[in-house]
Amino acid sequence: MPSEQTASGLRRQLSGRLVLDRTAGRSPLWRLLALLMSDRRTVWAMAIFQGLQAATYIPFQAAITYLIDHIIGGTFSGVPAELLTTHKMWLVAAWAGALLALWPLHAWCTVRAFSLSQRLIRTTTARLRRLIVDQLQRMSLSYFTRKGAGALSNQVTVDLGRVEGFLGNVAGHLMVGMTLCIASTIWIFWLNWKLALVGMIALPFQILVIRGTYKKVRVLNRRVQATTEDFSERIVEFIGGMRLTKSLGNEEVAAERMDAAIEEVRQSGLAQSVFMRWIGMGIQFIGEYSTTLTWCAAAFLVVSGQATIGETVGFMGVLGLARNGVYTWMGAYDAWQSAQPGMASLLELIDSRELEEFQQPQKHIPVQGGITFRQVEFHYPGADGKQVLSGIDLRIPAGQRIGLVGETGAGKSTFLDLVLGFYRPQSGEVRYDGHTLDEVGLLTLRRACAIMGQDAFLWNTTVRENIRYGRPLATDAEVEAAAKRAQAHDFISALEKGYDTACGERGSKLSGGQRQRIALARLFLREPRIVILDEPTSALDLETEARLQHDLDLFCEGRTTFIVAHRLSTLRGVDRILVFSKGRIVEDGSPAELIAKPEGRYARLHALTVRQEARAAAS
């Protein structure tokens, strides 16, 4: 059953992608409605029931004319005077009974229409969410670096929330409003065309108000969008830096920085709200004044004998329904003005071509770990062409253990990003066991790799599931075996719920060393061919580091391993060292070979480390 649900969800996702691709170049509103209309059966069923909902409600207002003119004020020539009151009372009861009998049908149509509209709204919103999540997973790292977590989270939550609100307006009320407007308009023109013309006089003036303020509303909504995104970015940074803020006692400084963003949101939201209220009051004034004119016209027609009181009262009731139908459309327009910047932003994300190139290779090529760089030149997109790596030309045999050394910004991390296929070089190429990345396939490469960094990332789930993330189909026994190899089993067992203990957001419920060991267990479970270690034992005490280093050495045997080192103790046992400086590899050789060059960078760094260790031992 789960596999069928997954396949069904995938079909809906692909369907949504095809709809948006086919409507590329059209307006955001057109593309959103096309996505909404892709579920045609539900749309038609909803439209029918909403039409019936409106049609079964109009008689409750229209029947007042019959009550006043034909029952209360009616003359019944064949009825004796002494029985006239009783006869009218029976007719009133019959009139009320007819409307009472109609109510269950109206209620059933209303609930059915609501159910279908909710299904349509939530299905369309879920389809958008799936498309966004799918697109985010396909985006390149440079996109995330440029946009930032705050802006992206704002798109997925705030922007999508506004779009969902607009969909609720369209799918939930628009067909009801349309039916009310059309049916009520036909009724009032049939009842008294002169009053109908007076009653409709407000509509063109209300449309002129909306059209005249369109540009101003759009500017204000875009400003709200921009300030909300800026606040989202700052609040993510504010929360992420809370530990540093508290450690320095800089709460007031951090609060002042947030105050500027909060004030921008306040001012933009206030300006938009007040302006929209003025528009609403203008539209309401025109409507109310039109109602006054209609009552005056109705009074004149009644006095002059051209209309009855029943016609007038019934007319005004049905006119209210017609106006409500028009106001529903105006409400949808207002909702779209608020949602339009968000939908445009979401479509910009969905249409973006800053994608990783997940090309499906023609045949499966297992990755053994041999890596070759051929005259690789690289600079980050949008970095004004400034070279980050230049002239990288080397061959790394499968199973070799490589240490990466160099000052901050020398190019070590970028080198590893190219190894993992996060970026493509502007010139030259990276080969894997003699094959290009397109021949191997990005997914195959990634599944053959594992990364262990200084800041171990943990999901907000159990310890067991965090370790299992390294190999999702691993058994509980395999998870626990990996934890034992990472020196993590004992402290995990001592936790309140053992392996089922929640780690908290980014592992906040665990110490730094515990997070690091859980991440190492995840690495051991994965069994990769290419391993990247960025100071993997930096958060561990010396005793645990010494024990774990032995297990790491055993684990890395036969695997191509890259070790980014800031402490040379981490590089013990490596086969080869690459020394980076200003985007180039300036030294390449075994530790012994590099130490033998006293003027070399690595030799000087090694000598400095030895002196520091000697001073530490002496003290």
Residue length of the chain = 619
**pTM, entire model:** 0.68
Take residue 555 and report the two structure tokens written for it. 């684990």
Q: Alpha-carbon distance 241 to 235, whole Å? A: 10
Name the architecture of domain 10-351. Up-down Bundle (1.20)
> Collapsing DSSP states into helix, strand and coil, what is residue 454?
coil
Question: Distances in Å between the alpha carbon of 572 and those of 100, 398, 494?
Answer: 88, 19, 32
- Asked whether the beta carbons of 358 and 339 are under 8 A apart, the reply is no
The band of 472, judged by pLDDT with boundaries at 50, 70 and 90, is confident
Q: Alpha-carbon distance 445 to 468, whole Å? A: 20
> Mean pLDDT, to the nearest integer, of 106-124?
85
Supply the pLDDT for residue 5.
44
CATH of 367-448+561-619, one of 3.40.50.300, 3.40.50.2300, 1.10.10.10, 1.20.1260.10: 3.40.50.300
Q: Alpha-carbon distance 180 to 195, whole Å? A: 18
Q: What DSSP letter does each residue of 525-579 carry, written as one string? A: HH--SEEEEESTTTTS-HHHHHHHHHHHHHHHTTSEEEEE-SSGGGGTT-SEEEE
Q: Alpha-carbon distance 55 to 42, whole Å? A: 20
pLDDT in tens, 225-262: 778 777 777 776 676 676 667 666 767 777 777 787 78
> What is the pairing mode between strands 576-581 and 401-406?
parallel
Residue 184 has pLDDT above 80, yes or no: no
Q: Fold match between 10-351 and 367-448+561-619? A: no
pLDDT in tens, 358-410: 667 767 888 888 999 999 888 877 656 678 888 889 999 998 999 888 887 88
pLDDT in tens, 265-315: 888 888 887 887 787 777 778 777 777 777 777 778 777 777 777 777 777
In the chain, domain spans: 10-351, 367-448+561-619
